[in-house]
Amino acid sequence: MGGDVGKAGFWDHLDVLRGVLIRIAIVTVVAGIVAFLFKEELFSIVLAPKDESFVTYRWLASLGSFMSPGEEDGFSVRLINTGLAQQFMIHMKTALCAGVLCVSPYILYELFRFVSPALYDTERRYATRVVGSGYLMFLTGVLVSYYLIFPLTFRFLGTYQVSGEVENLISLESYMGTLILMSLSMGIVFEMPVLCWLFARLGFLSDVFMRRYRRHAIVLILVVAAVITPTSDVFTLLAVSMPMWLLYETSIFIVKSACRKSARTGLGVQEAI
């Protein structure tokens, strides 16, 4: 029960939290070092979307050949380095990001184990659902960005030319910054259904409300997409806003189902909290 945690003092909790943070830091650093040592394997994954042999481009090529037989659809984009220590620093940052991603289940486990004694059984059950589903949705958003949104954006912007005399030379820093920012942004955006479900179960949100303000939500989605996109072109804006709109429409059905379940069980805000 949540009341058991009150037997420990503030400094006791602070000591426990410090131990949790130290364990998380150690595991993250170790995972980052391991990722740093496997440089070839790490960057073969990170740099894969720049090659025309990437799975997304192969799928698009096969679809294009099916729709228009006999047409070739290849492209080539070169990455360059513009700083003396830039490649080494990018290697370290990428390895650290990969380490955090790999040990993220352990990080969530440690944080949940620290917080769970302060929760009641109902709160712990809801927290488990929200954290678990939220984590899976975040990973889904990262994968959607890696396999769909970023490759399409990179291919369009990396091969776009105002003239055949101007060659595109994309810096490694620009490539990595765009990839990380878009992956993180889409991971956060994909939390929308989970948050909508939680608010619906608590009685704060209904499908009727979401349908009534659908047009307002579309405008807000376009604004958010314009803020989180690293570039200002219309193509990237649409590539980011379309999944967000689909998530909103999906969330309407999730909220409708959650509201019906709450009505059947009689669960309201007070019981959920």
What's the pLDDT score for residue 3?
A: 47
Dihedral sign for Cα 125, 138, 208, 217, please: positive
| Half-sphere exposure at residue 122, Cβ-oriented, CA atoms within 13 angstroms | 9
pLDDT given for residue 9 in this prediction? 65
Burial class (CB in 10 A: 0-12, 13-18, 19+), 185: buried
d(CA 60, CA 74): 10
Is there a contact between 15 and 82 (Cβ–Cβ < 8 Å)?
no
Which pLDDT value is given to residue 57?
85
User: Does residue 66 surpass a pLDDT of 60?
Assistant: no
User: What are the tens digits of pLDDT across the range 134-152?
Assistant: 899 999 999 999 998 888 8
Q: What's the mean pLDDT in 223-250?
A: 79
Q: Looking at mean pLDDT, say which of 168-172, 235-239, 268-272 comes out highest.
A: 168-172
214-229 core/surface letters (b: 16 or more CB in 10 A; e: else): eeebeeebbeebeebb
Among 7-16, 29-38, 247-256, where is mean pLDDT lowest?
Answer: 7-16
Is residue 104 within 8 A of residue 135, CB to CB? The reply is yes
Q: What is the helix (H) or strand (E) element at residue 171, kind and residue range?
A: strand 169-171
Residues 66-79 have a mean pLDDT of: 62
> What does the alpha-carbon distance between residue 193 and residue 137 come to, in Å, rounded to a whole number?
9
Please give the pLDDT value at position 148.
87
pLDDT in tens, 208-218: 899 998 999 99
Residue 36: exposure state from Cβ atoms within 10 A (0-12, 13-18, ≥19): middle
**Residues comprising the chain, all counted:** 273
Confidence at residue 269, expressed as pLDDT on a 0 to 100 scale: 44
Return the pLDDT at 264: 63
Band of pLDDT at residue 1, cut at 50, 70 and 90: very low
pLDDT for 172-206, tens place per residue?
Answer: 999 999 899 889 888 988 988 888 888 887 778 88
Instruction: For residue 247, report the phi and psi dihedrals to the nearest 5 degrees.
Output: -65, -40
Among 6-15, 23-32, 122-131, 194-203, the range scoring the smallest mean pLDDT is 6-15
Distance of CA 231 to the CA centre of its chain: 18
For 23-49, write each residue's pLDDT tens digit: 999 999 999 999 999 999 999 999 999
